[in-house]
């Protein structure tokens, strides 16, 4: 017959016994002791219940931690998504602001930054001239139309426009410079028309006076052509204000013939 354990030893072994860490022999001795000692048996039962409760509590805590981690992950993903949207809105807004400043907030380039590089008589009725900007900034647009009689002059006016926030010529390609810095026109004296022929001049080689005249005539036969405006006896380049003007041509000017 095996020797019975005393209560102190049983109580010392209880934690390992409940965790299943004791040997088979010790387990048998412990069970025999529980049959004889009601006090140790109750202690064992009490610790077993607490152990189970602790285990359930730990499991519950683990589940709560997992749920919290999942929630935090969702929050991070949501915040990341919102951050991307906000960044896109900020970038988009910045681009629109810049685009508006570049393309809408234009002002006229001063006349001192503009020069007439060519001015020729094509025949008795047609005059050809070319304007070029001398600005250090890229020209964003060119406009032309009837002059302002109420401002003290009668004629046709031309403007080179550049944005408030402009691109410096040093930062653009040579091709872009050529496309933006020059404007070419034909004056139809008899019909009082100013005709934009810039695209024809830029895209053709071996240009003659006859070719320019034929192009201008074909333009005048087109209805609602935005490249043609009514002209008068004078053509000006208008700069910052109505007093900042450069006379390009006026009727009666003696001009050299176009060099064919």
pLDDT, tens digit (0-9, with 9 covering 90-100), for 70-110: 766 776 778 788 888 888 887 776 666 555 554 455 778 89
Higher pLDDT, residue 82 or 177: 82
Residues 189 and 237 both lie in one domain: yes
Last residue within a domain, chosen from 50, 69, 102: 102
Whether residue 190 is found in the same domain as residue 121: yes
Does 230 map to a domain?
Answer: yes
> Is residue 255 assigned to a domain?
no
With respect to residue 1, please indicate whether it lies within any of the assigned structural domains.
no
Is the domain of 119 the same as that of 239?
yes
Q: Residue 85, by phi and psi: left (phi above 0), alpha (psi -120 to 50) or beta?
A: alpha
Task: Give the lowest-confidence range in 62-71, 84-93, 104-113, 136-145.
Answer: 62-71
**Which of 142, 146, 184 has the alpha carbon at shortest distance from 161?**
142
Please check whether residue 137 lies inside any domain of the structure.
yes
- Per-residue pLDDT at 105: 58
Does the pLDDT of residue 58 top 60, yes or no? no
Classify residue 37: in a domain, yes or no: yes
Percent of the chain at pLDDT above 70?
77
Is 256 part of any domain?
no
Tell me if 257 is assigned to some domain: no
CA-CA distances (angstroms) from residue 21 to 7, 9, 27? 19, 15, 10
- Cα–Cα distance between 188 and 214 in angstroms, integer? 12
Q: Are residues 26 and 114 in the same domain?
A: no
User: In terms of pLDDT, which residue wins out, 57 or 19?
Assistant: 19
- Alpha carbons 126 and 206: distance in angstroms, whole number: 19
Which pLDDT score, from 0 to 100, does residue 114 have?
93
116-135 mean pLDDT: 93
Residue 62 predicted with pLDDT over 80: no
Which of 102, 121, 154 is a domain's end point? 102
C-alpha span between 118 and 27 (Å, rounded): 114
| 3-state class (DSSP) for residue 157 | strand
Q: What percent of the chain has pLDDT over 90?
A: 21
Question: What's the pLDDT score for residue 122?
Answer: 95
Q: Are residues 43 and 132 in the same domain?
A: no
Tally the domains of the chain. 2
Q: Looking at the structure, tell me whether residues 187 and 202 fall in a common domain.
A: yes
- Is residue 113 domain-shared with residue 94, that is, in the same domain? no
* CB 103 within 8 Å of CB 140: yes
Of 76, 102, 128, the last residue of a domain is 102
Same domain, 132 and 75: no
Cβ–Cβ < 8 Å for 197, 216: yes
**Judgement on whether residues 132 and 232 belong to the same structural domain of the protein:** yes
Give residue 214's pLDDT.
94
Same domain, 12 and 75: yes
Q: Classify residue 258: in a domain, yes or no.
A: no
Same domain, yes or no: 125 and 77: no
Domain that holds residue 243: 107-250
Q: Is the pTM above the cut of 0.85?
A: no
Residues 118, 212: one domain?
yes
Average pLDDT for the chain: 79
User: Is residue 52 over pLDDT 70?
Assistant: no
The pLDDT of 130-142, averaged and rounded, is: 87
Q: Give phi and psi for 232, each to the nearest 5.
A: -140, -160
């Amino acid at each position: 017959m095996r020797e019975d354990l005393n209560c102190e030893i049983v109580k010392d072994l209880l934690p390992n016994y409940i965790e299943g860490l004791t040997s088979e022999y010790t387990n048998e001795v412990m069970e025999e002791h529980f049959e004889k000692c009601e006090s140790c048996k109750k202690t064992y039962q009490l610790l077993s219940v607490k152990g189970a409760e602790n285990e359930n509590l730990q499991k519950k805590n683990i589940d709560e931690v997992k749920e919290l981690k999942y929630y935090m992950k969702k929050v991070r993903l949501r915040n990341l998504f919102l951050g991307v949207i906000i960044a896109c809105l900020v970038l988009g807004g910045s681009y629109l602001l810049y685009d508006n400043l570049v393309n809408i907030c234009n002002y006229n380039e001063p006349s001192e930054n503009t020069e007439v590089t060519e001015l020729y008589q094509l025949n008795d009725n047609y005059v050809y001239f070319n304007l070029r900007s001398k600005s250090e900034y890229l020209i964003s647009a060119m406009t032309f139309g009837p002059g302002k009689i109420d401002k003290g002059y009668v004629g046709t006016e031309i403007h080179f426009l550049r944005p408030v926030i402009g691109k410096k010529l040093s930062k653009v390609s040579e091709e872009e410079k050529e496309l933006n810095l020059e404007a070419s026109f034909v004056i139809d004296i008899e019909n009082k028309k100013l005709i934009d022929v810039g695209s024809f001049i830029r895209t053709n080689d071996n240009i003659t006076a006859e070719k320019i005249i034929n192009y201008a005539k074909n333009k005048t036969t087109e209805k609602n052509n935005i490249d043609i405006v009514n002209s008068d006896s004078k053509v000006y380049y208008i700069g910052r204000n109505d007093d900042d003007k450069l006379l390009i041509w006026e009727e009666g000017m003696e001009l050299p013939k176009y060099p064919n």
